[in-house]
Amino acid sequence: MNTTLTMAMPKGRIFEEAVDLLKQAGYPLPPEFDESRKLIIDVPEAELRFILAKPMDVPTYVEHGVADIGIAGKDVMLEEERDVYEVLDLNISACYLAVAGLPGGNHERIAPKIASKYPNVAAHYFREQGQQVEVIKLNGSIELAPLIGLADHIVDIVSTGRTLKENGLVELERIADITSRLIVNPASYRLHAVRINEMVERLRTLVESKGEKA
Ligand SMILES: Nc1ncnc2c1ncn2[C@@H]1O[C@H](COP(=O)(O)OP(=O)(O)OP(=O)(O)O)[C@@H](O)[C@H]1O
Ligand SMILES: O=P(O)(O)OC[C@H]1O[C@H](OP(=O)(O)OP(=O)(O)O)[C@H](O)[C@@H]1O
């Protein structure tokens, strides 16, 4: 049986930390990971194939089974609600999702406008609060929305808090802590249980040892 596992990796912010983690867990990732523009990288000596995807798309590849496993931010998992197993918190790329807005803006309408790259998370959060809202989906520069009157509030990622601060916005409510997760396609988990469990355990040991040192 072909035991090569396909792993969907998020390009961008998470990528470097995820590659470091895999290297530390003993996977021999070639220099291509540091410099190339290739979107498929085979590592035959580890029986692994990596596909490099947009972070928001990683659970889609895993749900459809074209990747057996993947790494995705919890923010993406909450937004996409894909049918995949979330098997390990890798504890990398930490940040959080928050509601933010201009300070002192309490002359609110019945259904305030909320701009976000995470429309499902935003809608779900306010529904739980019993608050009617109108969600406006944006793809970036979310902090712009309240500054130019497109929205009353935003739901966005906060890491250092610098973007909010430099744009004169304040955090209003914290929604969820975010780290990256190892995710698995359910059918692949049954088919490749031994290999996938071995990877999960290797990474779990590493993540726990890092946690103890911190
Ligand atoms: N400051 C941050 N801003 C956004 N995402 C962050 C931050 N810190 C960690 N993350 C994690 O990184 C992931 C996003 O990575 P990145 O910003 O590279 O992708 P992206 O949102 O697709 O970016 P872009 O649309 O700008 O290409 C998120 O899913 C989140 O889990
Ligand atoms: O708290 P901070 O450390 O400032 O980080 C948070 C900012 O980083 C992200 O934006 P990104 O840089 O991905 O740009 P974008 O506007 O294109 O999404 C996020 O959407 C916030 O705007």
Q: Which ligand does the CA of 13 lie closest to?
A: 1
pLDDT tens digits in sequence order for the chain, 214 residues long: 678 999 999 999 999 999 999 999 999 999 888 888 999 999 999 999 999 999 999 999 999 999 999 999 999 999 999 999 999 999 999 999 999 999 986 667 889 999 999 999 999 999 999 999 999 999 999 999 999 999 999 999 999 999 999 999 999 999 999 999 999 999 999 999 999 999 999 999 999 999 888 7
The protein residue with its alpha carbon nearest to ligand 1, atom 27, reads 12
How many other CB atoms sit within 10 Å of the CB of residue 149?
Answer: 8
Best of 54, 159, 167, 169 for a ligand 2 pocket test (most atoms within 8 Å of beta carbon): 159
Q: Is residue 158 in contact with ligand 2, taking CB distance under 6 Å?
A: yes
Ligand 1 atom nearest 178 alpha carbon = 31
Q: Are 90 and 15 in contact (CB under 8 A)?
A: no
Residue 201: the pLDDT is 98
Burial class (CB in 10 A: 0-12, 13-18, 19+), 160: exposed
Ligand 1 atom nearest 76 alpha carbon = 29
The protein residue with its alpha carbon nearest to ligand 1, atom 28, reads 73
Q: Is residue 159 in contact with ligand 2, taking CB distance under 6 Å?
A: yes
Q: Is residue 165 in contact with ligand 2, taking CB distance under 6 Å?
A: no
Question: Which residues sit with their C-beta closer than 6 Å to ligand 1?
Answer: 12-14, 54-56, 73, 75-76, 93, 95, 140, 157, 159, 178, 180
Distance 32 CA to ligand 1 centre (A): 22
The protein residue with its alpha carbon nearest to ligand 1, atom 1, reads 159
Residue 212: the pLDDT is 86
